[in-house]
A and B are shown apart, each in its own frame.
Chain A
Protein backbone atom coordinates (compact mmCIF):
# COMPACT_ATOMS: atom_id res chain seq x y z
CA UNK A 1 0.00 0.00 0.00
CA UNK A 2 2.86 2.38 0.81
CA UNK A 3 4.41 1.80 -2.62
CA UNK A 4 1.09 2.50 -4.19
CA UNK A 5 0.73 5.78 -2.33
CA UNK A 6 4.18 6.71 -3.66
CA UNK A 7 3.03 5.88 -7.21
CA UNK A 8 -0.07 7.94 -6.51
CA UNK A 9 2.15 10.91 -5.63
CA UNK A 10 4.36 10.31 -8.66
CA UNK A 11 1.23 10.40 -10.79
CA UNK A 12 0.40 13.72 -9.14
CA UNK A 13 3.69 15.17 -10.40
CA UNK A 14 2.75 14.22 -13.97
CA UNK A 15 -0.67 15.87 -13.47
CA UNK A 16 1.03 19.00 -12.14
CA UNK A 17 3.26 19.31 -15.21
CA UNK A 18 0.21 18.96 -17.45
CA UNK A 19 -1.59 21.64 -15.47
CA UNK A 20 1.34 24.04 -15.96
CA UNK A 21 1.11 23.47 -19.70
CA UNK A 22 -2.67 23.95 -19.64
CA UNK A 23 -2.18 27.27 -17.86
CA UNK A 24 -0.03 28.24 -20.87
CA UNK A 25 -2.93 27.34 -23.19
CA UNK A 26 -1.51 24.04 -24.45
CA UNK A 27 -4.46 22.14 -25.93
CA UNK A 28 -2.54 18.87 -26.23
CA UNK A 29 -1.89 19.03 -22.48
CA UNK A 30 -5.61 19.42 -21.83
CA UNK A 31 -6.20 16.33 -24.00
CA UNK A 32 -3.71 14.34 -21.91
CA UNK A 33 -5.17 15.71 -18.70
CA UNK A 34 -8.63 14.66 -19.89
CA UNK A 35 -7.36 11.14 -20.61
CA UNK A 36 -6.04 10.86 -17.04
CA UNK A 37 -9.05 12.21 -15.16
CA UNK A 38 -12.16 12.02 -17.39
CA UNK A 39 -13.17 8.57 -16.24
CA UNK A 40 -13.05 9.57 -12.57
CA UNK A 41 -14.91 12.83 -13.21
CA UNK A 42 -17.58 11.18 -15.33
CA UNK A 43 -18.08 8.29 -12.88
CA UNK A 44 -18.52 10.68 -9.95
CA UNK A 45 -20.92 12.91 -11.88
CA UNK A 46 -22.96 9.92 -12.96
CA UNK A 47 -23.09 8.58 -9.41
CA UNK A 48 -24.43 11.91 -8.18
CA UNK A 49 -26.75 12.67 -11.08
CA UNK A 50 -27.94 9.23 -12.22
CA UNK A 51 -28.17 10.60 -15.72
CA UNK A 52 -25.52 9.91 -18.37
CA UNK A 53 -26.55 12.99 -20.36
CA UNK A 54 -26.12 15.29 -17.36
CA UNK A 55 -22.91 13.53 -16.33
CA UNK A 56 -21.47 14.20 -19.80
CA UNK A 57 -22.35 17.87 -19.59
CA UNK A 58 -20.82 18.14 -16.13
CA UNK A 59 -17.66 16.41 -17.39
CA UNK A 60 -17.34 18.95 -20.21
CA UNK A 61 -17.98 21.81 -17.74
CA UNK A 62 -15.30 20.51 -15.35
CA UNK A 63 -12.61 20.37 -18.04
CA UNK A 64 -13.63 23.76 -19.43
CA UNK A 65 -13.25 25.18 -15.92
CA UNK A 66 -9.83 23.56 -15.63
CA UNK A 67 -8.88 25.02 -19.03
CA UNK A 68 -9.92 28.50 -17.91
CA UNK A 69 -8.59 28.35 -14.34
CA UNK A 70 -5.57 26.03 -14.40
CA UNK A 71 -3.38 28.78 -12.98
CA UNK A 72 -5.63 28.96 -9.91
CA UNK A 73 -4.63 25.50 -8.73
CA UNK A 74 -2.87 25.89 -5.40
CA UNK A 75 -0.49 23.09 -4.40
CA UNK A 76 -0.79 24.16 -0.75
CA UNK A 77 -4.47 23.35 -0.69
CA UNK A 78 -4.29 19.78 -1.87
CA UNK A 79 -3.47 17.30 -4.62
CA UNK A 80 -4.55 17.71 -8.22
CA UNK A 81 -6.73 14.59 -8.02
CA UNK A 82 -8.59 16.02 -5.02
CA UNK A 83 -8.85 19.43 -6.72
CA UNK A 84 -10.31 17.98 -9.92
CA UNK A 85 -12.73 15.66 -8.12
CA UNK A 86 -13.88 18.39 -5.75
CA UNK A 87 -14.63 20.62 -8.76
CA UNK A 88 -16.49 17.69 -10.34
CA UNK A 89 -18.52 17.05 -7.20
CA UNK A 90 -19.36 20.70 -6.79
CA UNK A 91 -20.50 20.98 -10.44
CA UNK A 92 -22.54 17.79 -10.21
CA UNK A 93 -24.21 18.81 -6.94
CA UNK A 94 -25.08 22.24 -8.40
CA UNK A 95 -26.62 20.55 -11.40
CA UNK A 96 -28.47 18.06 -9.22
CA UNK A 97 -29.97 20.90 -7.17
CA UNK A 98 -30.99 22.74 -10.33
CA UNK A 99 -32.53 19.56 -11.75
CA UNK A 100 -34.30 18.74 -8.48
CA UNK A 101 -35.82 22.18 -8.45
CA UNK A 102 -37.10 21.65 -12.00
CA UNK A 103 -37.93 17.99 -11.26
CA UNK A 104 -36.28 17.13 -14.53
CA UNK A 105 -34.30 14.05 -13.55
CA UNK A 106 -36.77 11.83 -15.41
CA UNK A 107 -35.68 13.32 -18.74
CA UNK A 108 -33.00 10.62 -19.07
CA UNK A 109 -33.58 8.93 -22.41
CA UNK A 110 -33.29 5.31 -23.49
CA UNK A 111 -30.22 5.93 -25.65
CA UNK A 112 -28.28 7.29 -22.71
CA UNK A 113 -29.40 4.53 -20.36
CA UNK A 114 -28.11 1.98 -22.88
CA UNK A 115 -24.83 3.86 -23.15
CA UNK A 116 -24.59 4.02 -19.36
CA UNK A 117 -24.98 0.24 -19.04
CA UNK A 118 -22.43 -0.48 -21.76
CA UNK A 119 -19.92 1.95 -20.27
CA UNK A 120 -19.58 0.15 -16.93
CA UNK A 121 -16.06 -1.16 -17.33
CA UNK A 122 -15.55 -2.80 -13.96
CA UNK A 123 -12.05 -1.32 -13.61
CA UNK A 124 -10.77 -3.31 -16.57
CA UNK A 125 -8.57 -0.56 -17.93
CA UNK A 126 -8.21 1.76 -14.99
CA UNK A 127 -4.64 2.25 -13.82
CA UNK A 128 -3.19 0.42 -10.87
CA UNK A 129 -2.86 3.47 -8.60
CA UNK A 130 -6.56 4.25 -8.98
CA UNK A 131 -7.49 0.62 -8.38
CA UNK A 132 -5.43 0.51 -5.19
CA UNK A 133 -6.79 3.84 -3.97
CA UNK A 134 -10.35 2.67 -4.71
CA UNK A 135 -9.81 -0.49 -2.69
CA UNK A 136 -8.35 1.57 0.16
CA UNK A 137 -11.27 4.03 0.30
CA UNK A 138 -13.87 1.26 -0.06
CA UNK A 139 -12.26 -0.71 2.78
CA UNK A 140 -12.11 2.38 4.99
CA UNK A 141 -15.74 3.26 4.26
CA UNK A 142 -16.79 -0.29 5.12
CA UNK A 143 -15.06 0.09 8.49
CA UNK A 144 -17.15 3.16 9.42
CA UNK A 145 -20.23 2.44 11.49
CA UNK A 146 -23.50 2.58 9.55
CA UNK A 147 -24.58 5.95 10.94
CA UNK A 148 -21.24 7.59 10.10
CA UNK A 149 -21.24 6.12 6.59
CA UNK A 150 -24.80 7.35 6.04
CA UNK A 151 -23.98 10.99 6.88
CA UNK A 152 -20.95 10.92 4.60
CA UNK A 153 -22.97 9.47 1.71
CA UNK A 154 -25.79 11.97 2.16
CA UNK A 155 -23.42 14.93 2.34
CA UNK A 156 -21.02 13.86 -0.39
CA UNK A 157 -23.11 12.10 -3.03
CA UNK A 158 -26.54 13.62 -2.39
CA UNK A 159 -25.25 17.10 -1.64
CA UNK A 160 -27.44 17.49 1.45
CA UNK A 161 -26.41 20.14 3.95
CA UNK A 162 -25.85 19.08 7.56
CA UNK A 163 -29.19 20.70 8.52
CA UNK A 164 -30.95 18.72 5.78
CA UNK A 165 -29.30 15.51 6.95
CA UNK A 166 -30.34 16.22 10.56
CA UNK A 167 -33.92 16.75 9.41
CA UNK A 168 -33.92 13.63 7.22
CA UNK A 169 -32.52 11.42 9.98
CA UNK A 170 -34.51 13.08 12.78
CA UNK A 171 -31.31 13.79 14.71
CA UNK A 172 -30.03 17.00 16.35
CA UNK A 173 -27.80 19.12 14.06
CA UNK A 174 -24.94 18.96 16.59
CA UNK A 175 -25.01 15.14 16.50
CA UNK A 176 -24.81 15.13 12.70
CA UNK A 177 -21.90 17.60 12.72
CA UNK A 178 -19.97 15.63 15.35
CA UNK A 179 -20.63 12.35 13.53
CA UNK A 180 -19.47 13.78 10.20
CA UNK A 181 -16.24 15.08 11.71
CA UNK A 182 -15.59 11.80 13.52
CA UNK A 183 -16.11 9.91 10.24
CA UNK A 184 -13.70 12.25 8.42
CA UNK A 185 -11.10 11.88 11.18
CA UNK A 186 -11.36 8.09 10.92
CA UNK A 187 -10.95 8.21 7.13
CA UNK A 188 -8.00 10.62 7.43
CA UNK A 189 -6.29 8.26 9.84
CA UNK A 190 -7.02 5.18 7.72
CA UNK A 191 -5.92 6.81 4.46
CA UNK A 192 -3.12 8.99 5.76
CA UNK A 193 -0.64 7.76 3.17
CA UNK A 194 -2.83 9.39 0.50
CA UNK A 195 -3.30 12.63 2.45
CA UNK A 196 0.22 13.74 3.45
Chain B
Protein backbone atom coordinates (compact mmCIF):
# COMPACT_ATOMS: atom_id res chain seq x y z
CA UNK B 1 0.00 0.00 0.00
CA UNK B 2 1.31 3.44 -0.97
CA UNK B 3 2.20 5.67 1.98
CA UNK B 4 0.08 8.79 2.26
CA UNK B 5 1.94 10.34 5.20
CA UNK B 6 2.48 14.07 4.40
CA UNK B 7 5.92 14.93 2.98
CA UNK B 8 6.72 17.40 5.77
CA UNK B 9 6.13 14.65 8.32
CA UNK B 10 8.36 12.25 6.38
CA UNK B 11 11.04 14.94 6.48
CA UNK B 12 10.88 14.70 10.28
CA UNK B 13 11.98 11.05 10.36
CA UNK B 14 15.62 12.09 10.31
CA UNK B 15 14.95 14.67 13.06
CA UNK B 16 13.38 11.94 15.17
CA UNK B 17 16.42 9.70 14.70
CA UNK B 18 18.73 12.59 15.58
CA UNK B 19 16.84 12.99 18.86
CA UNK B 20 15.44 16.40 17.97
CA UNK B 21 11.76 15.57 18.38
CA UNK B 22 9.91 14.94 21.59
CA UNK B 23 6.37 14.75 22.90
CA UNK B 24 3.41 14.39 20.59
CA UNK B 25 5.27 15.17 17.35
CA UNK B 26 7.82 12.41 18.09
CA UNK B 27 5.05 9.98 19.05
CA UNK B 28 3.13 10.70 15.83
CA UNK B 29 6.17 9.94 13.64
CA UNK B 30 7.12 6.89 15.72
CA UNK B 31 3.60 5.45 15.46
CA UNK B 32 3.43 5.95 11.70
CA UNK B 33 6.90 4.46 11.13
CA UNK B 34 5.90 1.39 13.15
CA UNK B 35 2.87 0.83 10.92
CA UNK B 36 4.17 1.86 7.47
CA UNK B 37 6.50 -0.50 5.63
CA UNK B 38 7.88 2.24 3.33
CA UNK B 39 8.63 4.71 6.13
CA UNK B 40 9.96 1.98 8.40
CA UNK B 41 12.47 1.07 5.69
CA UNK B 42 13.39 4.75 5.26
CA UNK B 43 13.87 5.06 9.04
CA UNK B 44 15.99 1.93 9.22
CA UNK B 45 18.23 2.97 6.33
CA UNK B 46 18.55 6.51 7.66
CA UNK B 47 19.55 5.05 11.04
CA UNK B 48 22.33 3.11 9.28
CA UNK B 49 23.50 6.21 7.41
CA UNK B 50 23.66 8.16 10.66
CA UNK B 51 25.89 5.40 12.04
CA UNK B 52 28.07 5.48 8.93
CA UNK B 53 28.44 9.26 9.14
CA UNK B 54 30.40 8.72 12.34
CA UNK B 55 33.06 6.94 10.30
CA UNK B 56 33.89 10.18 8.51
CA UNK B 57 35.50 11.44 11.74
CA UNK B 58 39.33 11.24 11.85
CA UNK B 59 40.09 7.87 13.40
CA UNK B 60 41.78 8.11 16.78
CA UNK B 61 42.86 5.61 19.39
CA UNK B 62 41.58 6.22 22.92
CA UNK B 63 44.21 6.09 25.68
CA UNK B 64 44.84 2.48 26.75
CA UNK B 65 43.98 3.21 30.39
CA UNK B 66 40.40 4.06 29.33
CA UNK B 67 39.53 0.37 28.99
CA UNK B 68 40.96 -0.34 32.45
CA UNK B 69 38.79 2.48 33.87
CA UNK B 70 35.71 1.09 32.15
CA UNK B 71 36.26 -2.45 33.44
CA UNK B 72 36.89 -1.09 36.95
CA UNK B 73 33.62 0.86 36.81
CA UNK B 74 31.78 -2.28 35.69
CA UNK B 75 33.15 -4.30 38.61
CA UNK B 76 32.34 -1.50 41.06
CA UNK B 77 28.83 -1.23 39.72
CA UNK B 78 28.35 -4.98 39.80
CA UNK B 79 29.29 -5.38 43.41
CA UNK B 80 27.94 -2.03 44.68
CA UNK B 81 24.57 -3.66 45.31
CA UNK B 82 26.17 -5.93 47.92
CA UNK B 83 28.07 -3.23 49.84
CA UNK B 84 25.16 -1.88 51.87
CA UNK B 85 24.13 -5.34 53.14
CA UNK B 86 25.31 -7.12 56.31
CA UNK B 87 28.48 -9.03 55.41
CA UNK B 88 26.89 -12.47 55.88
CA UNK B 89 24.12 -11.60 53.42
CA UNK B 90 26.59 -10.00 51.00
CA UNK B 91 28.82 -13.09 51.17
CA UNK B 92 25.84 -15.35 50.53
CA UNK B 93 24.74 -13.25 47.55
CA UNK B 94 28.29 -13.19 46.15
CA UNK B 95 28.36 -16.97 46.48
CA UNK B 96 25.03 -17.21 44.68
CA UNK B 97 26.37 -14.87 41.96
CA UNK B 98 29.50 -17.04 41.58
CA UNK B 99 27.42 -20.26 41.36
CA UNK B 100 25.06 -18.54 38.93
CA UNK B 101 28.07 -17.48 36.84
CA UNK B 102 29.37 -21.06 36.82
CA UNK B 103 26.04 -22.49 35.68
CA UNK B 104 25.54 -19.75 33.09
CA UNK B 105 28.93 -20.52 31.63
CA UNK B 106 28.12 -24.27 31.67
CA UNK B 107 24.79 -23.67 29.98
CA UNK B 108 26.48 -21.42 27.40
CA UNK B 109 28.89 -24.25 26.64
CA UNK B 110 25.98 -26.66 26.16
CA UNK B 111 24.18 -24.10 24.03
CA UNK B 112 27.25 -23.74 21.81
CA UNK B 113 27.41 -27.56 21.46
CA UNK B 114 23.74 -27.71 20.48
CA UNK B 115 24.28 -24.89 17.96
CA UNK B 116 27.19 -26.81 16.42
CA UNK B 117 25.09 -30.00 16.20
CA UNK B 118 22.22 -28.07 14.69
CA UNK B 119 24.55 -26.61 12.06
CA UNK B 120 25.85 -30.12 11.25
CA UNK B 121 22.28 -31.48 11.03
CA UNK B 122 21.33 -28.66 8.68
CA UNK B 123 24.28 -29.50 6.45
CA UNK B 124 23.24 -33.16 6.39
CA UNK B 125 19.64 -32.19 5.63
CA UNK B 126 20.91 -30.08 2.73
CA UNK B 127 22.96 -32.98 1.41
CA UNK B 128 20.02 -35.43 1.72
CA UNK B 129 17.78 -32.94 -0.10
CA UNK B 130 20.29 -32.71 -2.95
CA UNK B 131 20.53 -36.49 -3.07
CA UNK B 132 16.71 -36.75 -3.22
CA UNK B 133 16.58 -34.23 -6.02
CA UNK B 134 19.15 -36.24 -7.91
CA UNK B 135 17.17 -39.45 -7.44
CA UNK B 136 13.97 -37.74 -8.55
CA UNK B 137 15.72 -36.59 -11.71
CA UNK B 138 17.01 -40.10 -12.28
CA UNK B 139 13.56 -41.63 -11.78
CA UNK B 140 12.14 -39.14 -14.28
CA UNK B 141 14.93 -40.13 -16.70
CA UNK B 142 14.13 -43.81 -16.26
CA UNK B 143 10.45 -43.20 -16.95
CA UNK B 144 11.02 -41.23 -20.13
CA UNK B 145 14.21 -42.93 -21.29
CA UNK B 146 15.79 -46.16 -22.42
CA UNK B 147 17.42 -48.89 -20.39
CA UNK B 148 20.45 -50.99 -21.17
CA UNK B 149 21.31 -53.96 -19.02
CA UNK B 150 25.03 -54.68 -19.09
CA UNK B 151 26.33 -58.13 -18.30
CA UNK B 152 29.76 -59.26 -17.22
CA UNK B 153 32.14 -60.92 -19.66
CA UNK B 154 34.42 -63.35 -17.84
CA UNK B 155 33.54 -61.63 -14.52
CA UNK B 156 30.37 -61.60 -12.40
CA UNK B 157 29.95 -57.80 -12.78
CA UNK B 158 26.72 -56.21 -13.96
CA UNK B 159 25.45 -52.76 -14.85
CA UNK B 160 22.45 -50.72 -15.88
CA UNK B 161 22.54 -47.66 -18.11
CA UNK B 162 19.64 -45.23 -18.36
CA UNK B 163 19.44 -42.93 -21.34
CA UNK B 164 17.38 -39.83 -20.58
CA UNK B 165 16.31 -39.14 -24.14
CA UNK B 166 15.06 -35.65 -23.19
CA UNK B 167 18.29 -34.30 -21.70
CA UNK B 168 20.63 -36.66 -23.60
CA UNK B 169 22.25 -37.71 -20.29
CA UNK B 170 23.30 -41.28 -19.55
CA UNK B 171 23.39 -42.61 -16.00
CA UNK B 172 25.37 -45.78 -15.30
CA UNK B 173 25.11 -47.98 -12.19
CA UNK B 174 27.85 -50.56 -12.18
CA UNK B 175 28.42 -53.34 -9.63
CA UNK B 176 30.90 -56.07 -8.76
CA UNK B 177 33.76 -55.07 -11.01
CA UNK B 178 37.10 -56.47 -9.80
CA UNK B 179 39.60 -54.03 -8.25
CA UNK B 180 41.53 -52.01 -10.85
CA UNK B 181 45.20 -53.09 -11.12
CA UNK B 182 47.88 -50.40 -10.66
CA UNK B 183 48.42 -48.29 -13.80
CA UNK B 184 45.04 -49.26 -15.19
CA UNK B 185 41.60 -47.72 -15.31
CA UNK B 186 38.10 -48.69 -16.36
CA UNK B 187 36.73 -46.93 -19.42
CA UNK B 188 33.18 -46.53 -20.65
CA UNK B 189 32.34 -47.05 -24.34
CA UNK B 190 29.39 -46.27 -26.54
CA UNK B 191 29.15 -48.63 -29.52
CA UNK B 192 27.10 -47.24 -32.37
CA UNK B 193 26.59 -49.38 -35.45
CA UNK B 194 29.44 -51.55 -34.18
CA UNK B 195 31.85 -48.63 -33.91
CA UNK B 196 33.24 -47.92 -30.39
CA UNK B 197 33.43 -44.33 -29.16
CA UNK B 198 35.45 -43.74 -25.97
CA UNK B 199 33.84 -41.99 -23.01
CA UNK B 200 34.80 -41.41 -19.33
CA UNK B 201 37.41 -43.34 -17.41
CA UNK B 202 36.56 -44.26 -13.83
CA UNK B 203 37.52 -46.16 -10.72
CA UNK B 204 35.22 -48.27 -8.56
CA UNK B 205 34.76 -48.16 -4.79
CA UNK B 206 35.99 -50.97 -2.52
CA UNK B 207 32.86 -53.04 -3.38
CA UNK B 208 33.44 -52.72 -7.12
CA UNK B 209 30.63 -50.15 -7.58
CA UNK B 210 30.54 -46.97 -9.67
CA UNK B 211 27.88 -44.42 -10.51
CA UNK B 212 28.46 -42.20 -13.55
CA UNK B 213 26.54 -39.52 -15.36
CA UNK B 214 27.80 -38.74 -18.87
CA UNK B 215 26.73 -37.30 -22.19
CA UNK B 216 27.08 -39.44 -25.30
CA UNK B 217 30.04 -38.06 -27.32
CA UNK B 218 27.87 -38.00 -30.48
CA UNK B 219 24.20 -37.21 -30.92
CA UNK B 220 21.91 -40.01 -31.97
CA UNK B 221 18.20 -40.00 -32.68
CA UNK B 222 15.94 -41.95 -30.34
CA UNK B 223 14.48 -44.03 -33.19
CA UNK B 224 17.96 -45.40 -33.86
CA UNK B 225 18.35 -46.54 -30.25
CA UNK B 226 18.60 -50.19 -31.19
CA UNK B 227 21.91 -49.41 -32.85
CA UNK B 228 23.41 -48.31 -29.49
CA UNK B 229 25.34 -50.56 -27.14
CA UNK B 230 27.52 -49.75 -24.13
CA UNK B 231 30.59 -51.44 -22.72
CA UNK B 232 33.23 -51.17 -20.00
CA UNK B 233 36.83 -52.21 -20.59
CA UNK B 234 40.09 -52.18 -18.66
CA UNK B 235 42.56 -49.71 -20.18
CA UNK B 236 45.91 -48.12 -19.36
CA UNK B 237 45.70 -45.07 -17.04
CA UNK B 238 44.35 -42.07 -19.01
CA UNK B 239 42.12 -44.17 -21.25
CA UNK B 240 42.39 -45.36 -24.86
CA UNK B 241 40.99 -44.39 -28.24
CA UNK B 242 40.15 -48.02 -29.04
CA UNK B 243 39.01 -50.61 -26.49
CA UNK B 244 41.49 -53.34 -25.46
CA UNK B 245 40.52 -56.97 -25.44
CA UNK B 246 39.73 -56.80 -21.73
CA UNK B 247 35.98 -56.06 -22.05
CA UNK B 248 34.35 -56.56 -18.63
CA UNK B 249 30.76 -55.44 -19.30
CA UNK B 250 28.63 -55.13 -22.42
CA UNK B 251 24.96 -54.60 -23.26
CA UNK B 252 22.56 -53.20 -25.85
CA UNK B 253 19.03 -51.79 -25.97
Closest to A186 in B: B49
Instruction: Using known A-B contacts A30-B74, A59-B62, A194-B52, determine if residue A43 contacts B57 with beta carbons closer than 8 Å.
Output: yes
Residues from chain B with Cβ under 8 Å of A81 in the complex: 51
Bound form: Cα–Cα A124–B110 in Å: 39
Residues from chain B with Cβ under 8 Å of A40 in the complex: 54-55, 59
Residues from chain A with Cβ under 8 Å of B11 in the complex: 177-178, 180-181
Instruction: Using known A-B contacts A162-B20, A181-B10, determine if residue A39 contacts B48 with beta carbons closer than 8 Å.
Output: no
Residues from chain B with Cβ under 8 Å of A105 in the complex: none
Contact: B59 with A86, CB < 8 Å?
Answer: no
Distance in Å from the Cβ of B175 to the closest Cβ of chain A?
A: 46
Residues from chain A with Cβ under 8 Å of B13 in the complex: 181
Residues from chain A with Cβ under 8 Å of B48 in the complex: 78-79, 82, 191, 194-195
Instruction: Using known A-B contacts A56-B66, A180-B14, A196-B45, determine if residue A120 contacts B53 with beta carbons closer than 8 Å.
Output: no
Contact: B50 with A89, CB < 8 Å?
Answer: yes
Closest to B41 in A: A196
Determine whether A172 belongs to the interface, using a CB cutoff of 8 Å to chain B: no
* Residues 20-63 of B contacting A (Cβ, < 8 Å): 20, 42, 44-63
Contact: A78 with B47, CB < 8 Å?
Answer: yes
Contact: B54 with A88, CB < 8 Å?
Answer: yes
Partner of B67, one of A34, A76, A85, A155: A34
Contact: B104 with A64, CB < 8 Å?
Answer: no
Instruction: Using known A-B contacts A27-B75, A43-B58, A60-B73, determine if residue A191 contacts B49 with beta carbons closer than 8 Å.
Output: yes
Contact: B57 with A191, CB < 8 Å?
Answer: no
Quick one: which of B18, B52, B104 has the most chain A CB within 10 A? B52
Determine whether A103 belongs to the interface, using a CB cutoff of 8 Å to chain B: no
Bound form: Cα–Cα A133–B77 in Å: 35
Bound form: Cα–Cα A134–B49 in Å: 12
* Residues 68-95 of A contacting B (Cβ, < 8 Å): 76-79, 81-86, 88-90, 93
Contact: B51 with A82, CB < 8 Å?
Answer: yes
Contact: B14 with A43, CB < 8 Å?
Answer: no
Bound form: Cα–Cα A44–B51 in Å: 10
Using a Cβ–Cβ cut-off of 8 Å, how many residues does chain A contribute to the interface with B?
A: 72
Residues from chain B with Cβ under 8 Å of A136 in the complex: 52
Determine whether B15 belongs to the interface, using a CB cutoff of 8 Å to chain A: yes
Quick one: which of A55, A119, A120, A181 has the most chain B CB within 10 A? A181
Instruction: Using known A-B contacts A90-B19, A156-B18, A181-B14, determine if residue A78 contacts B51 with beta carbons closer than 8 Å.
Output: yes
Determine whether A130 belongs to the interface, using a CB cutoff of 8 Å to chain B: yes
Partner of A121, one of B56, B57, B61: B61
Determine whether B17 belongs to the interface, using a CB cutoff of 8 Å to chain A: yes
Closest to B44 in A: A78
* Residues 50-94 of B contacting A (Cβ, < 8 Å): 50-63, 66-67, 69-71, 73-75, 77-78
Residues from chain B with Cβ under 8 Å of A67 in the complex: 74, 77
Partner of A56, one of B53, B62, B108: B62
Contact: B60 with A137, CB < 8 Å?
Answer: no
Distance in Å from the Cβ of B165 to the closest Cβ of chain A?
A: 42
Contact: A133 with B67, CB < 8 Å?
Answer: no
Determine whether B12 belongs to the interface, using a CB cutoff of 8 Å to chain A: yes
Contact: B70 with A64, CB < 8 Å?
Answer: yes
Contact: A42 with B60, CB < 8 Å?
Answer: yes
The contact sample of 11 A-B pairs, CB cut-off 8 A, is: A27-B75, A42-B60, A64-B74, A81-B51, A85-B55, A88-B54, A125-B61, A130-B59, A155-B18, A180-B15, A195-B49
Instruction: Taking A184-B14, A188-B46, A191-B52 as given, write out 9 further A-B residue pairs in contact, using a Cβ cutoff of 8 Å, ordered by the A residue number.
Output: A30-B71, A31-B67, A40-B55, A56-B63, A88-B54, A134-B55, A157-B57, A187-B49, A188-B42
- The 10 A-B pairs of least Cβ separation, nearest first, read A82-B51, A47-B57, A42-B62, A85-B54, A78-B47, A177-B11, A195-B45, A44-B54, A85-B51, A195-B48
